[in-house]
Chains A and B, each alone.
Chain A
Amino acid sequence: MSILVFAENIEGTYKKSSFEAVAYATKIAAGSQQKVIAVSLGLMDGKQLEELARYGADKVIAVADSRLNNFDAKAYATVIAQVAAAEGSNTIIISNTYGGKSIAPRVAVKLNAGIVSGVISYPDHSAGFKVRKTVFSGKAFADVTIATANKVLAITPNSFSVATTEKAAEITEFSATLSDNDFGTKSIEVKRVSGKIPLTEAEVVVSGGRGLKGPENWNIIEELAEVLGAATACSKPVSDMHWRPHSEHVGQTGITIKPDLYFACGISGAIQHLAGVSSSKVIVAINKDPEAPFFKAADYGIVGDVFDVLPKITAAARKLKASQN
Chain B
Amino acid sequence: MKILVCISNVPDTTTKIAFTDNNTKFNTTGVQYIINPYDELALTKALEITEKLQGSVTVINVGLADTEPNIRKALAIGAQDAIRVNAHPEDATFVAAQIAAVAKAENFDLILTGRESIDYNSGQVYGLLAEMLGWPSVNVINTLDIENGVATMERDIDGGREVVTCALPFVASAQKELAEPRIPNMRGIMAARTKPLKVLEPVALNAYTQTPSFELPQPKAGCKMIDADKAEQLIDLLHNEAKII
Give A residues with C-beta under 8 Å from B: 10, 15, 71, 73-74, 77, 97-99, 101-106, 108-110, 113-118, 130, 133-148, 184-193, 196, 198, 200-201, 204, 228, 246-247, 249, 252-254, 256, 260-261, 271-272, 275, 278-279, 281-285, 295-305, 308-309, 312-313, 315-317, 319-320
Contacts and interface: CB of A to CB of B under 8 A. Distances in A.
B36 to A, nearest CB: 10
Interface string B120-132: 1111111110111
Contacts of A285: 223
Contacts of B152: 188
Contact of B226 (A136, A247, A249, A302): A302
A117 B124 CA distance: 8
A144 B210 contact: yes
Contact of B214 (A114, A143, A247): A143
15 contacts: A74-B136, A98-B139, A101-B127, A102-B139, A105-B124, A106-B127, A130-B212, A145-B209, A189-B162, A190-B160, A252-B118, A253-B118, A278-B217, A302-B225, A315-B232
A296 B220 contact: yes
Interface string B206-245: 1111111111110011011111100111111111001011
Contact of B162 (A15, A148, A190): A190
B137 A184 contact: yes
Given A254-B176, A302-B228, A313-B231, A115 B93 contact: yes
Contacts of A198: 158-159
Nearest to A192: B160
A149 to B, nearest CB: 10
B160 A246 contact: no
B89 to A, nearest CB: 14
Majority DSSP secondary structure for residues of A touching B: mixed
For B91, B123, B128, B142, which residue has the most chain A Cβ atoms within 10 angstroms? B123
A299 B37 contact: no
Contacts, number: 269
A150 B244 CA distance: 38
Given A117-B124, A313-B232, A228 B245 contact: yes
B27 to A, nearest CB: 11
A137 B226 contact: no
Contacts of A298: 220, 223
For B37, B91, B227, which residue has the most chain A Cβ atoms within 10 angstroms? B91
Interface residues of B, number: 81
Contacts of B164: 185-188
A291 to B, nearest CB: 13
A304 B231 contact: yes
A281 to B, nearest CB: 7
Given A104-B127, A140-B217, A282-B242, A116 B232 contact: no
B161 interface: yes
For B11, B93, B139, B231, which residue has the most chain A Cβ atoms within 10 angstroms? B231
B131 A191 contact: no
Contact of B209 (A10, A116, A284): A116
Nearest to A139: B17
Given A142-B214, A145-B209, A301-B226, A313 B128 contact: no
A228 B235 CA distance: 11
For A99, A275, A320, which residue has the most chain B Cβ atoms within 10 angstroms? A320
Contacts of A74: 130-131, 136-137
A320 B233 CA distance: 11
A135 B119 contact: yes
A73 B166 CA distance: 12
B134 to A, nearest CB: 9
Contacts of B92: 105, 115
Contacts of A281: 244
B109 interface: no
Given A105-B96, A272-B14, A316-B234, 12 more contacts: A74-B136, A105-B124, A105-B126, A108-B93, A108-B128, A143-B213, A145-B211, A188-B162, A189-B162, A295-B225, A308-B228, A316-B231
Contacts of A117: 121-124
Contacts of A200: 158
Contacts of A302: 225-228, 231, 234
